[in-house]
A = this chain, B = another copy of it.
Amino acid sequence: MLNEEPVGVAVLGLGNVGSEVVRIIEDSADDLAARIGAPLVLRGVGVRRVAADRGVPAELLTDNIEELVSRDDVDIVVELMGPVEPARKAILLALEHGKSVVTANKALLSRSTGELADAAERARVDLYFEAAVAGAIPVIRPLTQSLAGDTVRRVAGIVNGTTNYILSEMDSTGTDYASALADARALGYAEADPTADVEGFDAAAKAAILASIAFHTRVTADDVYREGISNITPDDVASARALGCTIKLLSICERITTAEGQQRVSARVYPALVPSSHPLATVNGAFNAVVVEAEAAGRLMFYGQGAGGAPTASAVTGDLVMAARNRVQGSRGPRESKYAQLPIAPIGDIVTRYYVSMDVADKPGVLSTVAAEFAQHEVSIAEVRQEGVADEDGRRVGARVVVVTHRAPEAALSETVAALADLDAVQRVASVLRLEGTGQ
C-alpha cells in the first residue's frame, strides 16, 4: 500500500519547535508513513551556523538555505527559523522551486500573505500555517475548512501567552506590571526584549491572519489597531474585579456593516475587561483560546496550549503530513480565499463598551459634571463607582471615578475622554479600556 517514492522534507531552523519537529519525524516515522501513504524522509536541516551536538546527524545540517530549499529531492520545506527575513526569501525560493511550504511565521504571514499566497498559487503547491496562530490549537483549518459554508461574524481570542501570563499574575496576586513581567521572564514566558509580546505586535500579526481567513479578504498587520498591556495598573485590575471582570489582551476580528450597508472588517488588539462568566475570562497563564461566532454555527471555542516547542510542533507536523499526503495523492489543500476584498474599518467606527477611570477633585458636583460630559457626547453610562483616594499617611486627598458605558462608537468615546481631560474637576484620566463580551 505504501508508495515507494518517499516525500523529502527540509526543516529550516532548529530551535525549540524545529528540534521537536525533527524528533517527531524520526520517532513517529512508521505512523507518519502510514498516514501519508509514503515514507517521510528528512533531507536536511537549515541552520545559521553548522555546529555539532544539535541532536541531528551532522551530514543533515547545512547553512546553505538556498541550496537546501532548491534540492530536487526536497518536496516540502518547513520554515521555523523566523524572523521576517531571511524566512521570506527562503519561502519564496522554495515555492518558486515547486516545494510545498509549512510555516509558523506569523510576523511574515501577516505582512507578506499576498506575496506568499500568490507564489504558492503560481507553483500550484500548498502553503500551510496552522502553527502561526494559537500553537497547537486547530484554528486555521476549522476557519478555512469546517466553517467554509458558514458566515463568520466575529473572532475573539487570547492568542499571546506572554501577556496572558502577565495579566493572570496581576489578577491573581495584585502585583504590578513590572513585577509580573519579571516573573514571566524568569519562567521563560517572556523574552529579554518583550516588546513584540507586551505591545501587542504578536497578537496583531495573529489578528491579521485570523481576519484574513475568517472573512475571505486580505488583512495585514498594519491594518490592525493595536494597544499593549504595559500601561495596565493594579488599580485597573482591582477596578475590573470590583466590576466582576478580568483584564485580557484580546485579538478581535469583526465583520461590520456600516450605516450605508457596506461590509467592513475590523481587526484590533487591546487589553479589555471581560466578565468573569465569559469563556475567555477563565483562560489563564500561558494558555490560548479563540472564540468564533458564525451565523449558523453560533459560538464555538477552541482552547489549548498556544506556544512551546512540542505544542507548536504538533501543528507544524499536522500541516506537514497533510502537505505530504497531498503530494502523494496529487491533491492540493484549500488556496487563499480573498474574494470578499472588504475595506478595513477605522477604529473610530468600532462600537463597544468602555471603562474610564479618572482622578477627580474630591468636592460636590464633580460626578454630575463628569456625567454631563458623557451625555454631551451621547455616550450612555451603565455604571459609576466613586471612591476616595488616600495618600501614604491615609489622608483622603482626592477621589477616583470609574465609569462603565453602554455601547458607543470609539469616536464619541475619544471625544468624551478629551473633553474630560480638559475639565478643571478632572485631575487626569487614568485609564481607558474596552469592555468586551457582555453581549449588549
Q: Which residues of A contact B (CB under 8 A)?
A: 20, 24, 28, 31-32, 34-35, 130, 136-138, 141-142, 145-151, 216, 279, 294-305, 310-311, 313-322, 325-326, 329-334, 337, 339-340
Q: Are B297 and A314 in contact (CB under 8 A)?
A: yes
Interface centre among A130, A296, A329, A333 (most CB of B within 10 A): A296
Q: Work out how many copies of this chain go into the complex.
A: 2
CB-nearest residue of chain B to A315 = B146
- Chain B residues positioned under 8 Å from A332 (CB to CB): 329, 331
Q: Are B297 and A150 in contact (CB under 8 A)?
A: no
Q: Are A35 and B216 in contact (CB under 8 A)?
A: yes
Quick one: given A304-B298, A326-B331, are A314 and B150 in contact (CB under 8 Å)? yes
Q: Are B296 and A148 in contact (CB under 8 A)?
A: no
Q: How far is the CA of A216 from the CA of B172 in the complex (A)?
A: 42
Q: How far is the CA of A28 from the CA of B149 in the complex (A)?
A: 8
Task: Kindly provide the distance from the CB of A307 to the nearest chain B CB, expressed in whole angstroms.
Answer: 11
Tell me which of B32, B294, B302 contacts A149 (CB under 8 A).
Answer: B32
Q: Are A298 and B279 in contact (CB under 8 A)?
A: no
Task: Kindly provide the distance from the CB of A30 to the nearest chain B CB, expressed in whole angstroms.
Answer: 9
Q: 9 A–B contact pairs at CB < 8 A?
A: A28-B149, A31-B151, A136-B297, A136-B298, A294-B314, A296-B311, A303-B303, A325-B334, A331-B331
Q: How far is the CA of A250 from the CA of B319 in the complex (A)?
A: 30
Q: How far is the CA of A321 from the CA of B150 in the complex (A)?
A: 10
CB-nearest residue of chain B to A333 = B331
- Chain B residues positioned under 8 Å from A316 (CB to CB): 149
Q: How far is the CA of A286 from the CA of B279 in the complex (A)?
A: 16
Task: Kindly provide the distance from the CB of A248 to the nearest chain B CB, expressed in whole angstroms.
Answer: 17
Q: Are B145 and A300 in contact (CB under 8 A)?
A: no
Task: Kindly provide the distance from the CB of A212 to the nearest chain B CB, expressed in whole angstroms.
Answer: 14
- Chain B residues positioned under 8 Å from A311 (CB to CB): 296-298
Q: Are A150 and B317 in contact (CB under 8 A)?
A: yes
Tell me which of B24, B149, B321, B326 contacts A321 (CB under 8 A).
Answer: B149
Quick one: given A32-B149, A317-B149, are A279 and B297 in contact (CB under 8 Å)? no
Tell me which of B24, B149, B322 contacts A314 (CB under 8 A).
Answer: B149
Quick one: given A32-B149, A34-B216, A337-B35, are A301 and B300 in contact (CB under 8 Å)? no
Quick one: given A297-B136, A298-B310, A331-B332, are A28 and B151 in contact (CB under 8 Å)? yes
Quick one: given A34-B337, A142-B138, A298-B136, are A321 and B148 in contact (CB under 8 Å)? yes
Q: Are A148 and B297 in contact (CB under 8 A)?
A: no
Quick one: given A142-B141, A331-B332, A332-B329, are A147 and B314 in contact (CB under 8 Å)? yes
CB-nearest residue of chain B to A21 = B149
CB-nearest residue of chain B to A305 = B298
Q: How far is the CA of A34 from the CA of B342 in the complex (A)?
A: 14
Q: How far is the CA of A354 from the CA of B130 in the complex (A)?
A: 39
Q: Are A130 and B146 in contact (CB under 8 A)?
A: yes
Tell me which of B20, B148, B298, B333 contacts A318 (CB under 8 A).
Answer: B148
Q: Are B326 and A20 in contact (CB under 8 A)?
A: no
Interface centre among A136, A315, A319, A321 (most CB of B within 10 A): A136
Q: Are A302 and B305 in contact (CB under 8 A)?
A: no
Q: Are A148 and B35 in contact (CB under 8 A)?
A: yes
- Chain B residues positioned under 8 Å from A151 (CB to CB): 28, 31
- Chain B residues positioned under 8 Å from A299 (CB to CB): 304-305
Q: How far is the CA of A317 from the CA of B151 in the complex (A)?
A: 11
Q: A136-B294, A326-B331 are in contact. List 13 more A-B contacts (CB 8 A).
A: A31-B151, A34-B216, A34-B339, A34-B340, A35-B339, A138-B138, A148-B321, A148-B325, A150-B314, A295-B310, A296-B310, A322-B334, A329-B332
Quick one: given A303-B301, A304-B301, A317-B150, are A296 and B145 in contact (CB under 8 Å)? no
Quick one: given A141-B146, A332-B331, are A297 and B321 in contact (CB under 8 Å)? no
- Chain B residues positioned under 8 Å from A216 (CB to CB): 31, 34-35
